[in-house]
Structure 1
């Protein structure tokens, strides 16, 4: 099968847009004082926003080993974004939760994404932006991505 031209390959274009947008968000996060965060940290944060979780539960949600989740938590803990505390119902369990700095980073990330969204809408114009959003929502819904997104079950690409 002949490969599609780059400008006609939807998967590569989605990847390029996602990568460029992620870099833009990270650049804005850096300017806001959160330059030590990486995209992989966002996948951890999404599971802590609803409330504290056990490391094993976090690992299951992320689709990684408990050791991998513990490593990510340790890194974020050292950076001041999360903390571990003893679970009230079981002293043997430790819960991971966002710190004040973690919550501030979440808000900075939301502001950065909003700014990138505004830039893209300006680039396209409202009519084209609306049409693109409708098409992307349709694709995401049919591919199962909207369910993953709305239930906070997006996983980092491997």
Structure 2
């Protein structure tokens, strides 16, 4: 025996897809479409690291040199706890500045933490780990005037 649906039940069923669509529709506001300037993000990151007492902060411009990012920042923390705190503050600052996706790797050990914000990549090391990997040597052909330290 077929079950008949009352108009009231049918009305609720018809309304459900509209509600779901409204919930999953992405924000189309003009501010959501704007992405922050990578060099400005790099400056903000370097300033945050300096404020948090990171050591040997090096900003390397990569625009036109590498397809992976427009800027890379390398810094050292005094201990694993300091590296972890630096990474947490930098990730928060990037999100506040409007970086759409901020991915963090390496926090459980905090020997080397990588923060990937798309056009800006941040490496935060303990000093002995930074010395061992020596990422700066990969970019030693970059003209000296383009490298900036804090």
Normalised-by-shorter TM-score class: under 0.3
Structure with max Cα Rg: 2
Q: TM-score, normalised by structure 2?
A: 0.28
Q: TM-score, normalised by structure 1?
A: 0.27
